[in-house]
Amino acid sequence: MSLTIDDYKFSIALANAGLTIGQAAERAGMSRQRFHTVLNSKRVTAQAVGRVAKALGVDVTEIIETN
C-alpha cells in the first residue's frame, strides 16, 4: 500500500509541532534528503508516512491525502 503526504496538511502539522524540516527529519530517523524525497513522492510506503507522522506527533490520517 502506498500513500501520498498532503503538502498543506504536512505544513500545518510541522508548524503546530514548532519544528523545522531538519528537526522533523532527525526525529523521523531520516536524512534531510530522504525526508524531502518522502515528502515529494507521489507514492510513499505506509512505514515512511508513519515515521513522518510520529516525528510530528500526529496521526497518519492528519497528513495524508484523502480522495
- Give the pLDDT confidence of 12-62 residue by residue, as tens digits: 999 999 999 999 999 999 999 999 999 999 889 999 999 999 999 999 999
- For residue 1, pLDDT over 90 is answered with no
Helix segments in 18-56, DSSP class H: 21-28, 32-40, 46-56
Q: For residue 10, what is its C-alpha cell?
A: 504536512
- Mean model confidence pLDDT for the chain: 94
Distance CA 11, CA 1 (A): 23
Question: The whole model's pTM is what?
Answer: 0.90
Residue 66 has pLDDT above 80, yes or no: yes
Q: Residue 31 has what pLDDT?
A: 95
Place of cell 523521523: 28
Question: Do you know the residue count of the chain?
Answer: 67
